[in-house]
Structure 1
Amino acid sequence: MPRLWKGFSSYTVIGIANTVIHWQLFFVFRTAFEHSQTASNFLAFCVAASFSFYVSALYTFALPASLGRYLQFMLCMGALSLAVGWLADRWHLPGIITVVVFSLLSLVCGFLLSRLIVFRGSGQ
């Protein structure tokens, strides 16, 4: 496996837990609080990504979860979550499409962002 993708399987397992958290919170924010898809996707992302960032730092990249790394990751991926939610609101897409599209994009984009930028010095 090319070095770039080393750790992707571990990242994916953590991503499954992230996805469960994200989807549950998205639908709670969307239905119980009647937030837009933009707000629901972003809020759910913030909680789920905080969990997965810390766990990925420890188990996938074997580097400390510093505030600088956290903010870098959250800023980039948070922008992606807002963009997907905004497009879903604009195009009147069902919520399930929003979370599926964001989950797939965030798995690949989040891993590449983490590997190439956020955890660049990782020995993994």
Structure 2
Amino acid sequence: MRPFWKGISRYTAIGVVNTLIHWLVFFLLSLVAGISQALSNLAAFCVAASFSFCMNARYTFAAKVSVGGYLLFLGGMGVLSLGVGHAGDVWQLPGLLTVVAFSALSLVCGFLFAKYLVFRECEP
């Protein structure tokens, strides 16, 4: 079980900064600019994920940053981001609930996605 947990603490620390970036961009776009939660969540994810992808590649997974890996991560997790934002729009959820739900899902799903798909070649 130890190999699974390797890297989760660094991933979580980077995730805290990622979450702050995500929430800031989301609320600026949805509340200030009046953009839908779906598009605000997707755009906020892309900005925050760009930061965390580079940081996690270097500090969590000790991997080289690749365009393919970046696009795989953005595409896979971007679908989740857009889906959660769309649910927030359809169910008319408060924006705070939308970003909290996505942040929780993103922590778990993002770590698994990064560890086993995006950066898998870096594992011993």
TM range, smaller chain: over 0.9
Secondary structure at 1:58 match in 2: helix
User: How many residues align structurally?
Assistant: 124
Please give the alpha-carbon distance, in whole angstroms, between the structure 1 residues aligned to 2:105 and 2:2.
Answer: 21
Give me the TM-score of the superposition, normalised by structure 1. 0.97
- The equivalent of 2:18 in structure 1 is 18
Q: Which runs of 5+ in 2 are unaligned?
A: none
Q: Which runs of 5+ in 1 are unaligned?
A: none
- The equivalent of 1:109 in structure 2 is 109
Secondary structure at 1:121 match in 2: helix
Please give the alpha-carbon distance, in whole angstroms, between the structure 1 residues aligned to 2:11 and 2:99.
Answer: 18
Note the alpha carbon deviations across 1:57-115, whole angstroms, 9 max, x for none. Answer: 00000000100000000000000000000001000000000000000100110000011
Q: Percent identity?
A: 55
Q: Quick one: which amino acid aligns to residue 71 of structure 2?
A: L
- The equivalent of 1:80 in structure 2 is 80
Alignment of 1:18-57 (within 5 A): 18-57=18-57
After superposition, the CA RMSD in angstroms is: 1.0
Give me the TM-score of the superposition, normalised by structure 2. 0.97
Runs (4+) off by over 2 Å: none
